[in-house]
Amino acid sequence: MARPKIALIGAGQIGGTLAHLAAMKELGDVVLFDIAEGIPEGKALDIAESGPAEGFDAKMKGTSDYADIAGADVCIVTAGVPRKPGMSRDDLLGINLKVMKSVGEGIKAHAPNAFVICITNPLDAMVWALQKFSDLPAEKVCGMAGVLDSARFRHFLSLEFGVSMRDVSAFVLGGHGDTMVPLARYSTVAGIPLPDLVKMGWTTQEKLDAIIQRTRDGGAEIVGLLKTGSAFYAPATSAIEMAEAYLKDQKRVLPCAAHVDSAFGLKNLYVGVPAVIGAGGIERVIDIKLNKDEQAMFDKSVDAVKGLVDACKEIDSSLA
């Protein structure tokens, strides 16, 4: 059987890391696409030359021609600009919306059967626009945010508790922005919910609140340190987890920006929700019951996403 084909649209910091991870995990043959001359070819060759020492079998190709993504099984989109210190993800909207238009058209023409994972920010609005521009089925287009946000939450919790990150599971809902909703009640250490761990004296409510805020600010913390770009290792790893769930029909339950059309009382919106990813793409959105406080936080986050979607419609009338 032929190896799956993975097209990476954007060969910058995240795109290059995605290519390296996909090769090392032997998820399939990789095509790196970018408009920057020489960059996709250079990165593809460099990664291919790591193959003999690492011992993987995967073809690597760099290109600036959309025809080379033909028949891709998975497309992961990072094309666009990242933020700089002082910028919010929302500040990227105008520039990256134009990029989503060209990427969506490229995918529509050459890889209409792909499972598409968008990483470009502002995430929830960009994945919404990408689905519109590409015209792919909504269940085949999603965004990577929740896996990353919950990984950050899990990392901080594991440091606080002094336990393995593997035994910490965490739940983050809502938009990928300042209004994201880390859900303490559904986050656990080996099944013990965080509120119980507070009662057991493992941490205090104040410390937990600080960890939740650090999770919300997780992207900005890295931008502040790097100064010239945004996070790329953890975002790439998170998207690879989603791609692998699709390619191997793993039915993973992962938080991601999925098309929601009845769950959570929402209509036709992309926002971070728990979802099952398997061979059908986003196979199911899990409609969990929120308590009053959680619902209020989720509503605020949904409003922020709706505001960005409306801004997209104003910029590009074909989306209205």
Tell me which residues are annotated as active site: 176
Closest contact distance (angstroms) between CB of 118 and ligand APR is 9
Any binding-site annotation on 120?
A: yes
Kindly calculate the radius of gyration of the chain based on its CA atoms and give it in whole angstroms.
19
Interatomic CA distance for residues 93 and 102, integer angstroms: 15
Closest contact distance (angstroms) between CB of 77 and ligand APR is 8
Closest contact distance (angstroms) between CB of 34 and ligand APR is 5
Could you tell me the two tokens for 319?
């989306």
Instruction: Return residues touching ligand APR (CB under 6 A).
Output: 9-15, 34-36, 39, 78-83, 92, 96, 99, 102-103, 119-121, 229-230, 232, 235
Any binding-site annotation on 89?
A: yes
Any binding-site annotation on 15?
A: yes
Closest CA to 3 of 21, 41, 30: 30
Please check whether residue 212 is in contact with residue 156, taking contact to mean a CB–CB distance below 8 angstroms: no
Closest contact distance (angstroms) between CB of 191 and ligand APR is 32
Any binding-site annotation on 34?
A: yes
Closest residue by beta carbon to ligand APR: 12
**Beta carbon nearer to ligand APR, 83 or 264:** 83
Burial of 256 (0-12, 13-18, 19+ CB in 10 A): buried
Any binding-site annotation on 121?
A: yes
DSSP code per residue over 18-60 = HHHHHHHTT--EEEEE-SSTTHHHHHHHHHHTTHHHHT----E
**Beta carbon nearer to ligand APR, 4 or 82:** 82
Residue 40 backbone dihedrals phi, psi, to 5 degrees:
-65, -40
Give the annotated binding-site residues for substrate: 83, 89, 121, 152
Give the annotated binding-site residues: 10-15, 34, 83, 89, 96, 119-121, 152
